[in-house]
Structure 1
C-alpha cells in the first residue's frame, strides 16, 4: 500500500491523490471540525481513512461533500460513510445518480486526446447506492459544517456539479469544472504537468453549461485552486490560465466536433 498521507496546501486544506483523482480535507490538523470533499475511486477507503487518521487521529469528519457523482469521485463514499457514520451532501440534480435512479451517459471515446479518453466507454456509469447517507445541498449553497465556504452550482460536466469557494482567502475547490492536468492523456496524468484545462472531455456532455461554469469560477479570481485531477495551482499562473480558458473555452476545451455551441 502506498503511503497514505495528505499533502498540505494551506494550514487547513490538504489533498490526497487516489490514483487519478484528488480527495480534499478541509480542517486544520488534529481538529474535530473537518470535512472530506470527494471520495476517490473504489477500493481506496482504507487509504483515505489512513490519511485522515494521520491528519486528524480517530476524529471522524462532520460530513462528506461530493462535487458530483462520477465513479472516480464517489467510488469509496459508501465504505467511508459506513466507517464514520456521517452524512454525505450532493447537489439535488445529482441525487438520482447516487441513489440508483439513473446512470450517467457512457464515456465518449470520440473526444480523442489519449488513452483515458479511448477507454472511457468502459468506465462505470452506475454508481453505488448512497440512499442511507445522502442529503441534498441546500438551495442557498450553505452547509452548517462549512460556514466559511460557498457551494456554487457549476453544471456542465454533470448536471449537479458543484465547486466550493472560500471568499476570505480566495480558495477554490473546483472539482472537475476545470482541472490542472490533461486528463484524457495517461502520460499527462502520470507526469502531472500543471496547466489549467477544461473538464475531462470524455465525461462532459453539456459543453454550453460547462463554458458558463468556467466563466463563473474565473470571475471569482481565485487565489488558490485545488481541482479534481492534477496538482493545486495559485498565483499568476492560475489567474492567467483560468482567464484564458474562460475567454477561449470553445477552442481550448471543447472537442472540435462538438463546438456547435449557441
Structure 2
C-alpha cells in the first residue's frame, strides 16, 4: 500500500489517496478543485473504490461530487455529520461567506470497528473534539492513520467552531490515537505528516 498527499483549495486541505499495486484506491477528504483532482486521478490511472470522510467541514467536502460522479463510488461519513454535507450552516461554509454543499452520503458510519472496501481494510475510530463526527481511519497494512483535523504535527485541531470541544479532542487523541503503534504515520488534514511517537513526545498541547 502506498499513499499520496494532495493539498487542495485556499486552506490547503489535505486530500489523501491510498492505493495498492493494482492502482485501486480510496480517496480521503476531497476538499476542493474537483476538476483538477479528477484529472490527477485519471493521469495516475487510479481506480477509486470509495470516498472516506474524516469530517464534513466545508474545506474537506468541496470535490466530493466530482469524484463520486466520475467513478460512481460511495461516500462514507459519520452519522453525526450526515446532514452537514447539504447544509452550509452546519459545514460552516456560510460562516466564511460561502455556500458549499454536496449531495448526501451513500454510507453512514454509526459505530467504530472494521471497515472493509475491496482489498482495503481499516479500523475506524470516532475521534470527536474538532467536530462531533470526526473519524480517524487506521490502515495497519500501510502503517498510517488518516486523522483529519484531530491531530497535527505539533498541534491539534481547532475546537472553537460549533460542535468543537477541547477536552473531547484531547481525550480522543490520548485514548484512541495514542493507542496505535508508535511508528504509525499520522496523516493530518492540514500540514505535514508526523508519527504517533513524535506527537507523544513533543506535542505541546498533549
Is residue 54 from structure 1 mapped to residue 46 from structure 2 by the alignment?
Answer: no
Q: Which has the higher helix share?
A: 1
- Per the alignment, residue 193 of structure 2 pairs with 232
1:151 aligned partner: 124
1-structure distance, mates of 2:97, 2:88: 18
Report the counterpart of residue 39 of structure 1 in structure 2.
30
What's 2:75 paired with? 88
CA distance in 2 between counterparts of 1:21 and 1:104 reads 15
Bigger strand share: 2
Paired residue secondary structure (1:86): coil
The normalised TM-score by structure 1 is 0.67
Does residue 21 (structure 1) correspond to residue 18 (structure 2)? The answer is no
- The correspondence of residues 74-113 of structure 1 with structure 2, limited to 5 A, is 74-100=61-87, 103-104=90-91
SS of 2:55's partner is: coil
CA RMSD, Structure 1 to Structure 2 (Å):
2.7
- Choose which of 64, 75, 96 in structure 2 pairs with 1:122: 96
CA contact (8 A) 1:29 1:56 kept: no
Calculate the TM-score normalised by the size of structure 2.
0.83
CA displacement, residues 167-199 of structure 1 (integer Å, 9 cap, x when unaligned) = 34531111110123xxxxxxxxxxxxxxx2111
Do the aligned partners of 1:70 and 1:127 also contact (CA within 8 Å) in 2? no
Where in structure 2 are there 5+ consecutive unaligned residues?
Answer: none
Which residue pairs with 1:166 in the alignment?
A: 139
Pairing 1:198–2:156 present: yes
Equivalent-residue separation in structure 1 for 2:165 and 2:92 (angstroms): 11
**Pairwise CA distance, 1:144:** 2.7
Deviations 1:1-37 (A, max 9, x none): xxxxxxxxxx521111114111111113652x21101
- Paired residues in the alignment total 200
State the shift of 1:201 in Å. 4.7
Q: Deviations over 1:138-159 (max 9, x none)?
A: 5243333164211111001110
Correspondent of 1:134 among 106, 110, 115 = 106
Q: How many Å separate the matches in 2 of 1:29 and 1:54?
A: 16
